[in-house]
Amino acid sequence: MSSDLIWNIVKKNNAFKIERNGTVLSCEPGNLRNKHSIKYSGLARKNVIDVAAQNGKIVVSSRVVKKVAFPATANKTTTFTTNNSRKTARFVKTLATQYAPELRAAALGRLNRVQSSLKAAKLAQARKAKKN
């Protein structure tokens, strides 16, 4: 199906849509800016990049366009430790440039936010261990 058709189906009602104080947000996987729009939609677009944190590691996933019809095998996932942030940034930048250039800035911004949240969590854990 086309991305426009899928967007017209899910734009008014879906489980990830959040409306607060007149602002419409979306918390779907693959939505880098959490905006409810077709450009950032992880449901409607064929080219999707997602940057997330799992178990203290950074997980970068992308949807393989040729396998969109098979959701179980459509995502390609790469996991990075937080030790080498430049390598992770370089990987995300080249992936976004080759795969979906319009999402490059959003992907790098999400990576920066995820890395800073992991650093803050690590510092809080170290402070708690030092206190005890």
Question: What would the pLDDT profile of 74-92 be if each residue is shown by its tens digit?
Answer: 889 999 987 788 999 999 9
Helix, strand, or coil (residue 43): coil
pLDDT at 95 over 80: yes
Looking at the DSSP assignment, which residues form a beta bridge with residue 24? 19
User: Which residue spans within the chain are E strands per DSSP?
Assistant: 17-20, 23-26, 49-54, 57-63, 75-80
Domains and CATH numbers, the chain: 1-45 (3.30.390.110), 48-132 (3.30.390.110)
* pLDDT for the residue numbered 1: 77
* pLDDT for the residue numbered 94: 95
Strand pairing category for 23-26 and 49-54: unpaired
Burial class (CB in 10 A: 0-12, 13-18, 19+), 25: middle
C-alpha to C-alpha distance for 67 and 40, rounded to whole angstroms? 20
The reported pTM is: 0.86
Q: What sign for the dihedral angle of Cα 16, 74, 103, 57?
A: positive
What mean pLDDT value characterizes the chain? 91
